[in-house]
C-alpha cells in the first residue's frame, strides 16, 4: 500500500506548520465568551494503512480513493481505498476460505489471540485516541475512554470463547438423550457506524472471532481510519489470513452484493432505523441471521424527588458524550413540573461553561459534529423547536469559524407534542418538557417508535422498579448518565433493533444451536 500511503496527506493551502496546527477553544468566563489558541499535532500514525484488507494483505481500491475529513477544520485528513463489488466479493471469498480452519481452532487459542489484541490496542491507546479525535472530532479525553471501552470487548470475549457451553440431558420420555452443542454461524458481514469507530468494531469483531466466525468488516467511510489501524493490530497479533477482512467503499452496491451472496450467513449492523429496515429486507432473501442496533431517542426522566445536582451531572454525560452523536444519547428531558424550571436553568448554566473546540486541544469539553450536514440537521431541529414556542436558555447557534461546531444548547418550554421530541437529534441539544405525574412521564417517554436506552433520576426504589417494568427501552441508567459496559447486554426494543451485543448474550449472536438425538444407554 505504498502508493495509497503517499496520498494520505491533507489538501490545504500552503502555510506554516504552526499556523496549520493552531486551534481555537471557545469558553465562557465571567459571562463573557473568550477564545484561546493552542498548537496541536495532527500527524497520523506512521504505520496507518489506507487500503482494503483482504486475505491478509493490503490492497488499493479499484474505484480510487475516498476523502476522510477532519471535522474540526473541514479539511481533508487522509484518503482511503474505495473498493468495487469484485473486491468486496474477494473479501467474502477470503472469509469463506478461512472459515473451516478458524472454526476448528480451539476456543482457548481464539481467546488468547483476542487477549493479545486487547493488550496491543491498550499499548497503542494514544495512537487510537488521537486518530479517533482527528477523524471523528470527539475530545481526546473521550477518545481515550473509548479506547478503554473498545479494548474491553476484546478482553471480555477472550474470556467468553472457552465458556461456550452445551448440554447433555435425557428426553422427558426417557427413550433418548439430547446432546446440545454450539457451532459458529459462518461468514459474517459487520457494518459499523462512524460515531464510535473503535468500540463498534470491537463489539462486533470480538464475539464473532470468539465464536469461531470469519468476517468482512465494513466501517463507515466518514471515520474508517481507526478501523484500519485496528485491522493492522489484529494482523500483527497473529490473526490468520482471511479471518478478518476490511473493505471501505462509498457505494451501496458493494454491500448489496455481499448481503445477497448465499455464502454469507450473518449480518450485524449498527446505524439508523431507516437503513436497518432496508438491510433487513435484503437479508430476508437469504434468511440471514441478523443483529441490528438501530436508532435511539432516549428519554431522560427527572422526578420531583431527584437529587438535581446528580441529575444535571447525569444529563451532561448522557447528552454531551460524543457531542450527543450517540444512539444512547438523552434526547428528551422529561422533568417533573415542580423542578422543571430549576433543572433547565441549572443545566443551561452548566452547558454555558463548557469549552467548545478542537478535540486535540487541552481542556476541550465539546468537539465538532461529524460533518457539515450533521450540523445543518441539528440547527434545523432547533430552529423548528423555537418556531414551535421553545425558548433557548443557552446556545442555539452554530459556532463561527472553521469546522462543524454547534454550541451546547438547552431548550425550555418544549411542548410534549413538539416535533423535536420525535427525532433522534444527534447533537448537543437538550429539549426540556415537563410532566405532572408518573403516568404522564411514561406516556411521553413511550411515544417513540424506538426503545434503546432511557435514564431515570429518583430516590424512590419502588419507582425505579416500576420504570424497569413499564419504560419501553432495552437499557435504563438509574441516577447515572452512562450505561454501556462490555459485560452488559446492549440492545433495545421496538424498532431499536434485534439481538444483543456484549455480555454473555453477545457471543450467542454468532452461534448456531445443534442437537444430536441419541439412544438412551439404559433403554431395553
DSSP string, 67-114: EEEETTTTEEEEEEE---HHHHHHHHHHHHHHHHHHHHS-HHHHHHHH
Plot region of 14 (φ>0 → left; ψ -120 to 50 → alpha; else → beta): beta
Residue 301 in contact with residue 456, Cβ under 8 Å?
yes
Query: What CA–CA distance (Å, rounded) separates 333 from 432?
Result: 5
Look at residues 322, 44, 82, 353 and name the one whose alpha carbon lies nearest to residue 194: 322
325 is catalytic: no
The DSSP secondary-structure symbol of 304 reads T
- Residue 400's φ and ψ, nearest 5 degrees, are -65, 155
Distance, in Å, from the CA atom of 56 to the CA atom of 95, rounded to the nearest integer, reads: 10
Cross-strand partners of 453: 475
The one catalytic residue among 90, 146, 293, 423: 293
By the 8 A CB rule, do 114 and 159 touch?
A: no
Distance CA(501)–CA(183), nearest Å, equals 18
Torsion of CA 378, 383, 385, 389, to 10 degrees: 160
The SS3 call for residue 278 is helix
For every residue of 201-216, DSSP letters joined together read HHHHHHHHHHHT--EE
What is the rounded CA–CA span in Å between residue 168 and residue 341? Answer: 60
d(CA 159, CA 110): 10
Pairing of strands 409-412, 391-394: antiparallel
Whether 227 and 217 have beta carbons less than 8 Å apart is answered as yes
Q: In 444-472, which positions are buried (b, 16+ CB within 10 angstroms) versus exposed (e)?
A: bbeebebbbbbbbbbeeeeebeebeeebb
Task: Find out whether 365 and 36 touch, Cβ atoms under 8 Å.
Answer: no
In whole angstroms, what is the distance from residue 115 CA to residue 94 CA? 24
Cβ pair 184, 512 in contact under 8 A: yes
Instruction: Say which DSSP state 45 is in.
Output: P
Query: For residues 381 and 387, what is the distance between their CA atoms, to the nearest angstrom?
Result: 10
3-state helix, strand, coil in the chain (%, to 5): 40, 25, 35
Grid coordinates representing 446? Answer: 413511550
Question: Catalytic residue positions?
Answer: 293
Amino acid at each position: 500500500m505504498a502508493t495509497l500511503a503517499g496520498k494520505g496527506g491533507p489538501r490545504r493551502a500552503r502555510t506554516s506548520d504552526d499556523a496549520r496546527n493552531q486551534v481555537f477553544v471557545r469558553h465562557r468566563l465571567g459571562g463573557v465568551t473568550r477564545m484561546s489558541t493552542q498548537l496541536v499535532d495532527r500527524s497520523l500514525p506512521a504505520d496507518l494503512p489506507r487500503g482494503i484488507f483482504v486475505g491478509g494483505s493490503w490492497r488499493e481500491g479499484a474505484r480510487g480513493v475516498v476523502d476522510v475529513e477532519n471535522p474540526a477544520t473541514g479539511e481533508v485528513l487522509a484518503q482511503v481505498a474505495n473498493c468495487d463489488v469484485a473486491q468486496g466479493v474477494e473479501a467474502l471469498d477470503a472469509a469463506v476460505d478461512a472459515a473451516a480452519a478458524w472454526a476448528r481452532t480451539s476456543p482457548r487459542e481464539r481467546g488468547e489471540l483476542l487477549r493479545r489484541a486487547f493488550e496491543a490496542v491498550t499499548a497503542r491507546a494514544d495512537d487510537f485516541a488521537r486518530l479517533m479525535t482527528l477523524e471523528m472530532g470527539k475530545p481526546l479525553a473521550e477518545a481515550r475512554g473509548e479506547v478503554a471501552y473498545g479494548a474491553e470487548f476484546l478482553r471480555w470475549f477472550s474470556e467468553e470463547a472457552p465458556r461456550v457451553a452445551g448440554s447433555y440431558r435425557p428426553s422427558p420420555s426417557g427413550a433418548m438423550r439430547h446432546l446440545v452443542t454450539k457451532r459458529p454461524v459462518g461468514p459474517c458481514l459487520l457494518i459499523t457506524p462512524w460515531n464510535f469507530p473503535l468500540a463498534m468494531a470491537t463489539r462486533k469483531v470480538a464475539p464473532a472471532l470468539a465464536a469461531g466466525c470469519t468476517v468482512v468488516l465494513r466501517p463507515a467511510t466518514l471515520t474508517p481510519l481507526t478501523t484500519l489501524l485496528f485491522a493492522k493490530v489484529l494482523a500483527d497479533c497473529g490473526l490468520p489470513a482471511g479471518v478478518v477482512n476490511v473493505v471501505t467503499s462509498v457505494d451501496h452496491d458493494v454491500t448489496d452484493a455481499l448481503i445477497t451472496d448465499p455464502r454469507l450467513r450473518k449480518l450485524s449492523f449498527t446505524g439508523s432505523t431507516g437503513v436497518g429496515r432496508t438491510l433487513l429486507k435484503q437479508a430476508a432473501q437469504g434468511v440471514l441471521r441478523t443483529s441490528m442496533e438501530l436508532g435511539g431517542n432516549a428519554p431522560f426522566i427527572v422526578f420531583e424527588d431527584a437529587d438535581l445536582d446528580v441529575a444535571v451531572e447525569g444529563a451532561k454525560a448522557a447528552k454531551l458524550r460524543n457531542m450527543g452523536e450517540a444512539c444512547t444519547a438523552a434526547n428528551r428531558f422529561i422533568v417533573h413540573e415542580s423542578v422543571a424550571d430549576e433543572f433547565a436553568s441549572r443545566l443551561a448554566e452548566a452547558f454555558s461553561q463548557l469549552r467548545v473546540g478542537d478535540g486535540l486541544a487541552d481542556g476541550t469539553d465539546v468537539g465538532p459534529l461529524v460533518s457539515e450536514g450533521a450540523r445543518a440537521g441539528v440547527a434545523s431541529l432547533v430552529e423548528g423547536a423555537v418556531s414551535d414556542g421553545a425558548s433557548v436558555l443557552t446556545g442555539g447557534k452554530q459556532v463561527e469559524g472553521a469546522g462543524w461546531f454547534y454550541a451546547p444548547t438547552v431548550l425550555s418550554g418544549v411542548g410534549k407534542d413538539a416535533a423535536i421530541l420525535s427525532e433522534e437529534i444527534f447533537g448537543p441539544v437538550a429539549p426540556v418538557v415537563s410532566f405532572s405525574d408518573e403516568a404522564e412521564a411514561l406516556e411521553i417517554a413511550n411515544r417513540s417508535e424506538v426503545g434503546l436506552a432511557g435514564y431515570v433520576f429518583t430516590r424512590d426504589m419502588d419507582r425505579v422498579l416500576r420504570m424497569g417494568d413499564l419504560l419501553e427501552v432495552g437499557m435504563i441508567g438509574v441516577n447515572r448518565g452512562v450505561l454501556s459496559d462490555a459485560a452488559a447486554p446492549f440492545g433495545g426494543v421496538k424498532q431499536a433493533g434485534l439481538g444483543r451485543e456484549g455480555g454473555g448474550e453477545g457471543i450467542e449472536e454468532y452461534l448456531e444451536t445443534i442437537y444430536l438425538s441419541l439412544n438412551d444407554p439404559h433403554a431395553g
